[in-house]
Amino acid sequence: MENFVLLQPEAFLQKHRQLLKEEIQEALKGVNSSNNQEDVLQTKDVCKLLNKSRQTIENWCEAGILNKRYLGESVFFLRSEILAAMREYKSEKKKI
């Protein structure tokens, strides 16, 4: 007999996000050479972090300012790369 679990849509999405985050972090273990676990961000998290719109984040990705990564169809960013890109972007902006 199969077991079924009924979840409300929001609970399902929350569980899906958590499982996806765990899968991304597991996939990144081979990429990271340091012992520090890298923070993985979704686009909405980057928007909040930088206080920018989703379209601005997409534009910056297309311009090569930000580096988005894929796991299947899911898009994610690494916090360290976002912060480094913003430091570089601000220093370039000051030179102008």
3-class secondary structure per residue, 36-85: CCCCEECHHHHHHHHCCCHHHHHHHHHCCCCCCEEECCEEEEEHHHHHHH
2 in any annotated domain: no
64 in any annotated domain: yes
pTM reported for the whole predicted model? 0.59
Give the per-residue pLDDT at 48.
Answer: 94
40 in any annotated domain: yes
Considering its fold, how many domains does the chain have in total? 1
List the pLDDT tens digit at each of the 96 positions of the chain.
Answer: 677 778 888 888 888 888 888 887 777 766 554 555 678 999 999 999 999 999 999 999 999 989 999 988 889 999 999 999 988 877 776 665
Average per-residue pLDDT in the chain?
83
Parent domain of 40: 9-95
